[in-house]
Structure 1
Amino acid sequence: MSSRTDSGRPIARHGWGPALATVLGTLITMGAVAALGLWAAGATDLPEGSFPPVVAAAVVTAVGGTVELSGDAGGLAGTEGGLTVIPLSVTLAGALVLGGGFLRPLRHRDGAGAPELAGWTARIAALWLLAVLGLALVARHTFELSLGDGPLGDLGDLFGFTPVVGFSTNVVPTVLIGLLWLAGVLVVSLAVSRDAPLPSGLLRLRTAVRPAAWGMVGLLLAAVVICLVIALVVAATRGHPAETFAVILLGLPNIAWLALTVGLGATWDGRVEGPFGLPMPHVLDEVLRTPDVSVLNLGTLVEHDGGKWWWLLVVVAALLLATAFATAACSPARVRAWQHAVRMAVALALTVLMICLMARITARLGLSVLGIGGLGEGFSGQVLLRPRLWGAVGLALLWGLVTGFAGALLARAVRRRDAAGPGG
């Protein structure tokens, strides 16, 4: 709702209703994307009503929360496990809805005071805190694990036990990280938006920050769209549509943004062991399925699957140059080329840092019965994917400087041509 001052200038007073609608819309979107992705992945076959808690756990991990695995197989058996992975498709869907809901009441305003923005943010944060707390409490479940046929099953029948596996969330860290995620989404939304009002003291800062922030968001979304088109073509031509749609709905940005960093020249270390796999193209699983930790970069991809992976470098370079040009074109004409280059470098470095922190994967599950079935057997395995962080950030700085300077020169040439006019 809103009111007017004596001068007639509108002052928005955001109530709890719009805040509740924003938070509920975000949760419903994230829950729907997670549920559809898990359904496509076959999670509905989990025993004993596990599906709803698993969906809640997926949403919790999407905002940075952690899921702890536990097990109890009696005195003759042992279990161990851990899971750190962010389903970035769910994260991205929630961020888009949350950012849009946050900005909607602020559009078409000349300005906004700090108390107004603080009050609107506080309402959303209070409701979001309750929502994440509820999800963290719901995202826990325990179910029995069938040992099937073979030596493990025979031992289970002989000694009369069935392993119990469960998962839960660490509530306090999950709530704190969820609030940090919320703060990050809201800050980026304000930085990117052209229409959202800011206190007068921050207007100059947004003039410097907004073009680069807008460019980085566009770069990330463009990478996701390209991967989405490729995934849909693969689903239509090579079969296995359920698995492909599971990847799209759960981990498409994981793949797209990993490819973006690899195209920059970054290196990731990884390993795939046991029955588990990465939600990624088959070639990546092959590169990482080795006895020891493997290296994933452009060189190993080319060595494993031919020279076609050099196209990744070309595509990434084109995307960065287009982003730099668009960023410079949206900036005031008085900004110099070297300033564009510095801003592009800093923005790209921060973006790559965010990707490296969010796209890493650590998953481990081990079950042994009288020493049978340790890691590497049918009921055990691990997946590891982690970046060489500072090397990736350094390459992003270098790419940002080069493409930022080139994009600024292109934008300046276009401005001069437009100023000259048709007869120039």
Structure 2
Amino acid sequence: MSARTPSGPPAARHGWAQALATVLGALIAMGVVAAPGLWAAGATGLPGGSFPQVVAAAVVTAVGGTVELSGDAGDLAGTQGGLTVMPLSVTLTGALVVGRGFLRPLRRRAVAGAPELAGWAARIAALWLLAVLGLALAARHTYELSLGDGPLGDLGDLFGIRPVVGFSTDVPATVLVGLLWLAGVLVVALSVARGAPLPAGLLRFQASVRPAARAMVRLLLAAVVIGLVVALVVAATRGHPAETFAVILLGLPNVAWLALTIGLGATWDGRVEGPFGLPMPRVLDEVLRTPDVSALNLGTLTEHDGGRWWWLLVVVAVLLVATATVMAARSPARVRAWQHAVRMAVALALTVLMICLTVRISARFGLSVLGIGDLGEGFSGRVLLRLRLWGALGLALLWGLVTGFAGALLARAPRRRHGAGTPR
């Protein structure tokens, strides 16, 4: 009998079965969040039994897809529109499940080869591509639109017009953006997870990138938790629980991360018109329901709803200092305070850029009959929300430098007490 010698850690189990479990788990989790959120928003009342298709559309938009609105009523009437919005509660759920599934087979290892990581990611990506393709094809439905009893109804009866409207997705673009979304999630997962293995060539970046990446994820999740507490209090004290839970299950990170940037001092440009509205607290809808594009920031919120919105500034300052302190405490002691400040500034600016790309909203729908466009508020509307990016990035860099330096100084005292040395 020959003796066997140890040959190192066992090979990671990350084959096709594990990839399938990761993809299916993410899709199921996203559907479980989207379906009750859409139910609370009243989507079950849509005609034609289209609720499953609406849920599929919500999942598609959660990974960056765009829903296109279209219609047809012959040569006498036409519709046009589009919808770009990410229900970030659904997005965040899917990202957490995908990230955990990707990292699970890699735990308890220090180093993994680039071919191994690429092969594991490719398995997930191949199945994810098929899943997103199926959802994009399923996310489509048509409805017959009633013109009502007004001028449009009279024109419709006169000319026998029965407009049909519907929604669908741009399948190639949705698949491409869905793959980019997956790639971003996997990169963030590797950057954030403390125990995730990296190729040997990337180990030298571990000490500088991972503390900052983890700090930004903590910041974003802390903002969501605070938003959840506020939303539950509002639901319990001010009524309208269905609307509040629809926001929680579909757009809680949208609201929380919007508030985070406003607390930094950033300004969003927006407009709300017609029957549509923002899937957000009513005060934001009211500030933006003006004839022209309006500014949404601490100043306009305070003018509209009193001085309590300045508390956002205090909350954001506390969150950033706490984030910077934890980041400095988890970084090597040899890192100087100014290096912490620079890393915090860069990380916060990238986070604000991500918020800009994911929280923005663009929605437009219009109906015209015999060339008479947008007859009545019931048949047209527009929602727009976009960040003034360069100003926001500048504020993020400034906040990051100040809070990063303060966090480095606050992290020194515990290190002195524990004899871990101080940053030089």
Residues 235-290 of structure 1 show CA distances to partners (whole Å, capped at 9, x for unaligned) of: 11111111111111111111100000010010110000011110111111111000
- Report the secondary structure of 2:419's partner residue: helix
Runs of 4+ with >4 A deviation: none
Q: Which residue of 1 aligns with 2:348?
A: 348
1:134-213 paired onto structure 2 within 5 Å: 134-213=134-213
1:24-43 paired onto structure 2 within 5 Å: 24-43=24-43
What code does the residue aligned with 1:18 have? Q
Q: How many residues align?
A: 417
Query: What percent identity do the matched residue pairs reach?
Result: 84
Residue 113 in 1 paired to residue 113 in 2? Answer: yes
Query: CA separation in 1, counterparts of 2:375 and 2:355?
Result: 29
What code does the residue aligned with 1:169 have? T
C-alpha root-mean-square deviation of aligned residues, in Å? 1.6
Query: CA separation in 2, counterparts of 1:389 and 1:9?
Result: 47
Query: CA separation in 1, counterparts of 2:376 and 2:301?
Result: 25
Query: CA separation in 2, counterparts of 1:350 and 1:135?
Result: 30
Q: Kindly state the Cα deviation for residue 375 of structure 1 after the two structures are TM-superposed.
A: 6.5
Unaligned runs of 5+ in 1: none
Query: CA separation in 2, counterparts of 1:344 and 1:308?
Result: 28
Query: CA separation in 1, counterparts of 2:125 and 2:389?
Result: 31
Q: Which residue of 2 aligns with 1:309?
A: 309
Kept after mapping to 1: 8 A contact 2:72/2:79 = yes
Q: Kindly state the Cα deviation for residue 149 of structure 1 after the two structures are TM-superposed.
A: 3.0
Q: Which residue of 2 aligns with 1:238?
A: 238
Q: TM-score, normalised by structure 2?
A: 0.95
Q: Kindly state the Cα deviation for residue 73 of structure 1 after the two structures are TM-superposed.
A: 2.2
- Go from structure 1 to structure 2 and tell me whether the alpha carbon gap of 1:297 and 1:376 turns closer, same or farther (over 3 Å shift): farther
Query: CA separation in 2, counterparts of 1:49 and 1:60?
Result: 19
- Go from structure 1 to structure 2 and tell me whether the alpha carbon gap of 1:397 and 1:376 turns closer, same or farther (over 3 Å shift): farther
Query: CA separation in 2, counterparts of 1:46 and 1:245?
Result: 19
1:334-413 paired onto structure 2 within 5 Å: 334-370=334-370, 374=374, 377-413=377-413
Kept after mapping to 2: 8 A contact 1:69/1:83 = yes
Kept after mapping to 2: 8 A contact 1:152/1:372 = no
Kept after mapping to 2: 8 A contact 1:83/1:364 = yes
- Report the secondary structure of 2:11's partner residue: strand
- Report the secondary structure of 1:176's partner residue: helix
Kept after mapping to 2: 8 A contact 1:5/1:11 = no
Higher deviation after alignment, 193-202 or 247-256:
193-202
Q: TM-score, normalised by structure 1?
A: 0.95
Query: CA separation in 1, counterparts of 2:206 and 2:184?
Result: 16
Residues 60-117 of structure 1 show CA distances to partners (whole Å, capped at 9, x for unaligned) of: 1111111111111232222111111111111000000100111111111232111211
What code does the residue aligned with 2:384 have? L
Query: CA separation in 1, counterparts of 2:5 and 2:18?
Result: 22
Unaligned runs of 5+ in 2: none
Q: Kindly state the Cα deviation for residue 5 of structure 1 after the two structures are TM-superposed.
A: 8.8
Q: Which residue of 2 aligns with 1:83?
A: 83
What code does the residue aligned with 1:20 have? L
Higher deviation after alignment, 345-354 or 371-380:
371-380
Query: CA separation in 1, counterparts of 2:135 and 2:55?
Result: 9
Kept after mapping to 1: 8 A contact 2:152/2:375 = no
Kept after mapping to 2: 8 A contact 1:274/1:375 = no
Kept after mapping to 2: 8 A contact 1:375/1:381 = no
What code does the residue aligned with 1:230 have? V
Higher deviation after alignment, 71-80 or 358-367:
71-80
Query: CA separation in 2, counterparts of 1:343 and 1:70?
Result: 46
- Report the secondary structure of 2:394's partner residue: helix
Higher deviation after alignment, 158-167 or 273-282:
158-167
Q: Kindly state the Cα deviation for residue 155 of structure 1 after the two structures are TM-superposed.
A: 2.8
Residue 253 in 1 paired to residue 257 in 2? Answer: no
1:83-102 paired onto structure 2 within 5 Å: 83-102=83-102
Residue 328 in 1 paired to residue 322 in 2? Answer: no
- Go from structure 1 to structure 2 and tell me whether the alpha carbon gap of 1:203 and 1:376 turns closer, same or farther (over 3 Å shift): farther
Residues 134-161 of structure 1 show CA distances to partners (whole Å, capped at 9, x for unaligned) of: 1111111111112233332333233322
What code does the residue aligned with 1:325 have? T
Query: CA separation in 1, counterparts of 2:207 and 2:84?
Result: 37
Kept after mapping to 2: 8 A contact 1:287/1:296 = yes
What code does the residue aligned with 1:363 have? A
